[in-house]
Amino acid sequence: MNLDVYSSWAYTEAQAKEDTVIVRARERGRELGVDSVGPSTANLLTVLAATSGARNVVEVGSGVGVSGTCLMRGLGAQAALTTIDIDVDHLAAAREAFTEAGFDHSRIRAISGRAEAVLPRLTDAAYDIVFLDADKLNLAEYLSQAIRLVKVGGMILLHDAFDQHRVAKPAVRLPSTIATRNATKMLQSDERFRTSLVPTGAGLLIAARIKDMHA
């Protein structure tokens, strides 16, 4: 990253202000060794949720509730979040963040389990946003399910689309990097989606669905 690009990135990150709910969630994340979405990405999630008019959102990888809280803050009062994580401590931390943010518990379904086992039980084309922020080695399966779940007019959001800035380096052949590259190529080549790779935080790939399953 050259100096001008880094300066622009750092300036963008510095503009994102966070309240005590998110600050406390990040503190719990550090205690648990969880890396949450960065400040600028967190704010972008709120903006995307607010402008999409989403009613149903599913999140793969609850973390400690930073991304879920920011998504919920952009949703309308009747919208709901389904968040999935295999780690019960992470889910407990996420629930604490949701409570501190003042969200009605009836609007949040927190599911403990392996996402590759939970996602197939969710309804086809029932979600406006599918946010993926989980282990990269199962990313192909998560993405396949996300494509099934997202409705026309909705979007798939892939966090850490740069895989710690390794994606742009062709010589890097780490499994997580290959999985991220493949996921990006899969969505970019799918005629049902229009994509944009946003260089904020660790990178956010936005894929908007414009056609149905059979188009």
Mind telling me the catalytic residues? Answer: 159
Query: 150-159 and 204-209 as β-strands: parallel, antiparallel, unpaired?
Result: antiparallel
| Residue 85 CB-density burial (10 A; 0-12 exposed, 13-18 middle, 19+ buried) | buried
CA dihedral of 31, 34, 39, 42, whole degrees rounded to 10: -130
Say how far apart CA 151 and CA 153 lie, in whole Å. Answer: 6
Say how far apart CA 185 and CA 201 lie, in whole Å. Answer: 20
CA dist list (Å): 25 to 19, 50, 63, 171, 202: 10, 22, 9, 36, 19
Say how far apart CA 187 and CA 73 lie, in whole Å. Answer: 27
